[in-house]
Amino acid sequence: MEIQVQGQTPLYGTVEVGSSKNAILPILAASLLTDEPRKINRIPNIKDVEVITEVLSSLGVNIDQFSRSLEFFGGINSNHPPYELVRQIRASFLVMGPLLARRGNVRVALPGGCAIGTRPIDLHLKGFEALGAKITMSGGDVIAKANILHGNHIYLDFPSVGATENIMMAAALAQGTTYIENAALEPEIVDLANYINSMGGKVTGAGCNVIKIEGVKKLTSTEYTPIPDRIEAGTYMLAAAAAGGEVIIENIIPEHLKAITAKLIETGAEVIEGDNQIIVRREKEIKPVYIKTLPYPGFPTDMQAQFMAYLIRANGSSIVTESVFENRFMHVAELLRMGAKIKIEGRTAVIRGQKNLTAARVKATDLRAGAALLIAGLTARGSTTIMNSEHIDRGYEGIVEKFNNLGAVSGQVFWRNFGQ
């Protein structure tokens, strides 16, 4: 699939952010922790949610969809999700913790997803072993077995979001108390803990370095609405600043966007915070900045590519250091095709700003790289074509329509071609 972007048109209007992709995926996985009815509201219509829902269905869970909600009924009749589903998104590996807790025997293929680094699962497996599971590998699958899971003290060598989530879910039904030290601090971790607690779980300390999970025998029915997507919000903030104009981004939690907001203001953009909205506009030239990606509350790696696309037109040279993933500059080659001046040295990129970009035919290599190309296309001279735009659909609901609603020439910022 392809998206065409008409450049050099300012954006005006209001855009509403959907529920967080990185929150909804572990929450859906955690729905395996009980057989009781559970309802999740404000489900985003994105590819990753479709895939993880298919994973749950393959395990025996009955799922009904009502407008923007999903309702889950019944229990699990399988402990081995199909490889053809698991390979599509990395978050599918998050079913391992709940399945281990519920079934005591689980087999999951090594995960897939965006090609932005190795992202090993060793921290997940060390956590399961600490809870009493025996881990083996066979035919590209990870096999975990445990008659009973027991609470333990688990120290993570790195504050991995996925490992924190997987261990938290497994520990929710373990005997005794589990402590996860050096846990990830992301808002999505807090949201998962709140969801587990809404089912009768006992998780405290989420959002802090040490999370305490008191295992319970059973979790119960719940209805829950996930937090807004801070990365989607940040992407629209960057688009507004890059293209010019004035955009109101609604359904956000400003506290979750502090790192992005601070850097945007540093570049000369104006950011006005409300209770659940942010207004972004830019009239001054873009000032160069230094960015280093870090675990939350630092600058998010999921916003690195979008910010780089914005800094291409800064008045001076900017530096971006990627400290989270070792292979997350794949978008640079495509930006160079548009005339960007970027030099990579290891995990650092130096962006020499310039006044104009030129439209080109480019390829989205992953989800956030695709979003970066959209932002670059908004500022380029002419019409940019983005191939492999299905990557963007993995994490942005209705992004073409939302940008079209922000105006531009005859209301047509983008149009999508489903040919080839």
313-343 residue pLDDT tens: 999 999 999 999 887 899 999 999 999 999 9
Domains in the chain: how many in total? 2
* Same domain flag for 139 and 242: no
Helices and strands: H and E segment counts in the chain: 14, 25
Strand order in the sheet with 202-204: 153-155, 177-181, 210-214, 202-204
Q: Select the highest-mean-pLDDT range: 17-26, 64-73, 81-90, 408-417.
A: 17-26
Q: Measured between alpha carbons, how far is 51 from 381 in angstroms, rounded to an integer?
A: 37
Please give the pLDDT value at position 66.
86
Same-domain pairing of 270 and 209: no
- Percentage of the chain surpassing pLDDT 90? 87
Which backbone phi and psi does 367 adopt, to 5 degrees? Answer: -55, -55
Domain match, 244 and 218 both: no
| Residue that finishes a domain, picked among 224, 248, 271 | 224
Supply the DSSP symbol for 409: G
Co-location of 212 and 335 in the same domain:
no
Query: Which residue segment(s) compose the domain that 396 sits in?
Result: 2-18+229-417
Whose tokens are 């040919």? That residue is: 419
- Does 408 score more than 90 pLDDT? no
Q: Are residues 143 and 12 in the same domain?
A: no
Regarding whether 244 and 179 lie in a shared domain, the answer is no
Tokens, residue 64: 């009904």
pLDDT band at 1 (very low <50, low <70, confident <90, very high): confident
Same domain for 130 and 220?
yes
155 in the same domain as 87: yes
Mean pLDDT of all residues in 89-117: 85
Per the CB < 8 A criterion, the answer to whether 179 and 204 are in contact is no
Q: Is 208 an active-site residue?
A: no
Q: Does 180 share its domain with 294?
A: no
d(CA 377, CA 310): 10
Q: ω into residue 254 within 30 of 0, thus cis?
A: no
283 and 149 together in one domain: no
- Looking at the structure, tell me whether residues 126 and 245 fall in a common domain: no
Question: How confident is the model at residue 277, as a pLDDT?
Answer: 98
What contacts 33, CB < 8 A, 6 or more positions away?
98, 101, 102, 169, 172, 173, 196, 199, 201, 219
Per-residue pLDDT tens digits for 277-327:
999 999 999 999 999 999 999 999 999 999 999 999 999 999 999 999 887
Catalytic residue among 49, 114, 280, 372: 114
pLDDT confidence bin for 9, thresholds 50/70/90:
confident
Residue 231 has pLDDT above 50, yes or no: yes
* Confidence (pLDDT) at 332: 97
Q: pTM of the full predicted structure?
A: 0.94
Q: Give the model's pLDDT for residue 116.
A: 42
Q: Which CATH number fits the domain that encloses residue 185?
A: 3.65.10.10
Same domain, 188 and 132: yes
Boundary (domain end) residue, out of 167, 199, 224: 224
Return the pLDDT at 111. 78
Q: How much is the average pLDDT of 110-132? A: 77
- Asked whether the predicted pLDDT for residue 115 surpasses 50, the reply is no
Dig out the tokens for 46 from the structure.
């994105």
Whole-angstrom CA distances from 313 to 219, 236, 266, 352, 378 are: 52, 17, 15, 8, 12
Domain C-terminal end among 193, 224, 255? 224
* Predicted pLDDT of residue 112: 60
Residue 110: both structure tokens together: 């090594």
At residue 414 the predicted structure's pLDDT band, cuts being 50, 70 and 90, is: very low
CA gap 272, 264 in Å, rounded = 11
- Whether 248 shows a pLDDT value over 60: the answer reads yes
